[in-house]
Amino acid sequence: MLCHPESNRERYFKTTATEGEVFVEHNLEAKYHIGEALFKKLMYCCFELPTDNVESDPFDPVRRFQRKWNQQVESVITPGSGLVVDESMARWLGVGMPGLMVVLRKPTPVGREAHTTADNSTKIIVRVEFYEGKERMKFAEFVTEYGANPATFLRLTKPWHGTGREVTLDSGFASVTAAMAGYDHGLYIVGNVKTAHRDFCKSWLLAQVQKREDRAMATAIVKTRGGNTIELLAAVDMDRKPMALIATSRTTRMGEPRERRFKVIRKTGEYVVRSASLQQLDVHAHYRETFNKVDKNNQQRQGGNSGATGNLEDSWRTHKWYIRDYQMLMGISDTNSFYCVRKWHPSGRQLDFGTWRRKLAYQMLHNPWIQLENIGPADLVALQGTDVIHQLLHLPGRETQHCRYCGKSVRFYCKCVPLEDRDATLIRKRRIRRAGMYVCQKGDCFAKHRAGIAPEKRRQEEAKKRKASKA
């Protein structure tokens, strides 16, 4: 749906596939044996997790999914020496969402706010925390000791405490308290100080900048709550507006100059583009290089960059706020996979986001290798010598049958394809007659069928036949 969006759902069945296309656009019923009624049910489906009867906590199932997502990303991605902490938004214009936020400066100002951590070398988001409202966040970890914003920064970087990584903080998280809290937990920070300037010599630095019209800096040696002695660096650089930073790393030497482009209008009305090289401190050079890594990921996910093909918020419409949270994490996973390919694949640099999405969608729709669910140790013997690929297909029309394992009503049957014909194109073109193996997707019925375990009813019938033949 992201690769070839249409105006409404019916178009996905009425539009035929374009001849010669590698990726099948639409014509879902003919190509994938998915009826329109089943398609609508799949579109309305969502993830559901047990709430343990905690009716007063609507975030409980979402929080569990968020925690599992963070654990999975942490197990497969190891970030580099630098991290970036910033906010992300998922648009929501409906009603009923707890913790709804309105941030006018964001491209999608109304919706769910999520605090995110990204690797500054790859732009991969490695940790997410949904904002649950001011009252609920009061009881989160580290809030009692450090306050709301520094506590959020510490939770977002908790897996990497004590590693000495350098964290770039947005103005919503940076403060003197955050700098000292990060040092107590083995992290260095470079943060932009705007409103949270308590104990920060912002007025004096701004006065010095206005006199000199370039930059000013100051250092102070303070003692943290953990008893550690730390040197804080406060620096202001004059850009279009003064930028005030606080850091526990970096130096006051001059860093890489920044290139500034501007237009000059001549008397004839024509204009020319000129560039100038402006000097800046090392701490400002590092901040300007890394502060927008989360924003780049968000722009790619929401279709703001060239080559993107829309976003899930537009293609997958929903009336339920928790599905929107699920969409956001799925969109982040989609974007993260693209950045992984760009970083580590030999030809990844030549790949744009739209092409990657089409390739990913094609592989997910036509991948013949179906992973087996976890089954009992006694059933693993049946996996030896497996020489077929099992593909679950929809019965034609409104035909229904009964599952051979559990007896429930089903509208699917399994087409068992020999392993030598495992190519997806051959699977689509082969016309293999239905062998009568009706099986449902619920429970472990399909897993038992793929493992070669005979149904209980079939076992009983075979036993009766053997007894009759012996008699």
Instruction: Kindly indicate the confidence band of residue 102, based on its pLDDT and cuts at 50, 70 and 90.
Output: confident
In the chain, where the domains are located: 60-305, 381-470
| Mean pLDDT, residues 94-110 taken together | 73
Distances (CA, A) of 260 to 53, 273, 276, 291: 58, 10, 5, 18
pLDDT for res 47: 43
Across 146-174, average pLDDT: 91
Q: To the nearest whole number, what is the mean pLDDT of the chain?
A: 75
Q: What is the mean pLDDT of residues 123-136?
A: 89
Q: What angle do CA 87, 88, 94 make, to 5 degrees?
A: 125
Task: For Cα atoms 148, 296, 119, give the angle at the middle one, nearest 5 degrees.
Answer: 65
Per-residue pLDDT, 307: 46
In whole angstroms, give the CA distance from residue 26 to residue 157.
Answer: 43
pLDDT bin (cut points 50, 70, 90) of residue 406 is confident
What tens digit of pLDDT does each residue of 279-315 get? 888 888 889 899 899 988 888 888 765 445 567 777 7
**pLDDT(428) > 50:** no
Q: Phi and psi for 135 in degrees, rounded to 5? A: -70, -45
Q: Say which range, 304-308, 329-333, 380-384, has the weakest mean pLDDT.
A: 380-384
Question: How would residue 389 be classed by pLDDT, with cut points 50, 70 and 90?
Answer: low
383 falls in which pLDDT band (50, 70, 90)? Answer: very low
CA distances from 185 to 225, 321, 340 (A): 11, 35, 29
Q: Residue 116 above 70 pLDDT?
A: yes
**Lowest-pLDDT choice from 32-46, 189-203, 453-467:** 32-46
| Residue 433 confidence (pLDDT) above 70 | no
CATH 2.40.50, domain 60-305, yes or no: no
pLDDT confidence bin for 155, thresholds 50/70/90: very high
Identity of the highest mean pLDDT range in 315-319, 390-394, 427-431: 315-319
Task: List helix spans (H) across 143-281.
Answer: 143-146, 148-156, 176-184, 202-212
Confidence of residue 151 (pLDDT cuts 50, 70, 90): very high
| Integer Cα distance of 169 and 151 in angstroms | 13
pLDDT at 15: 63
Q: 345-374 burial, b for 16+ CB within 10 Å, e for fewer?
A: eeeeeeeebbebbbebbeeeeeeeeeeeee
Q: Is pLDDT above 50 for 254?
A: yes
Phi–psi pair at 70, nearest 5 degrees: -60, -40
pLDDT band for position 278 (cuts 50, 70, 90): confident
- CA geometry: angle 173, 178, 180, nearest 5 deg: 165
The DSSP call for residue 281 is B
Structure tokens at 11: 């178009």
Helix (H, G, I), strand (E, B) or coil at 246: strand
Per-residue pLDDT at 358 exceeds 90: no
Q: Average of pLDDT values for 339-362?
A: 83
Give me the pLDDT at residue 356, please: 85
Residue 417 above 80 pLDDT? no
Whole-angstrom distance, CA of residue 252 vs CA of residue 232: 12
pLDDT at res. 117: 94
Per-residue pLDDT at 361 exceeds 70:
yes
What is the rounded CA–CA span in Å between residue 234 and residue 243?
11
Q: Which of the pair, 14 or 252, is modelled with greater confidence?
A: 252
Range scoring the smallest mean pLDDT among 239-248, 307-316, 372-381 = 372-381
The Cα 453–Cα 437 span in angstroms is 12
3-class SS shares of the chain: helix, strand, coil, % to 5: 35, 20, 40
Which of 148, 90, 150, 86 has the alpha carbon at shortest distance from 118? 86
Q: Which residue has the higher pLDDT, 192 or 255?
A: 192
Predicted local confidence at residue 82, as pLDDT: 92
- Alpha carbons 434 and 414: distance in angstroms, whole number: 8
Q: What is the pLDDT of residue 354?
A: 81
What distance in Å separates the CA atoms of residue 229 and residue 451, rounded to the nearest whole number? 62
Query: 360: which residues sit within 8 A by CB, 6+ positions away?
Result: 334, 337
CA proximity to 416, closest of 388, 393, 395: 388
| 220-234, 393-407, 445-459: range with lowest mean pLDDT | 445-459
Q: How far is CA 17 from the centre of its chain?
A: 30
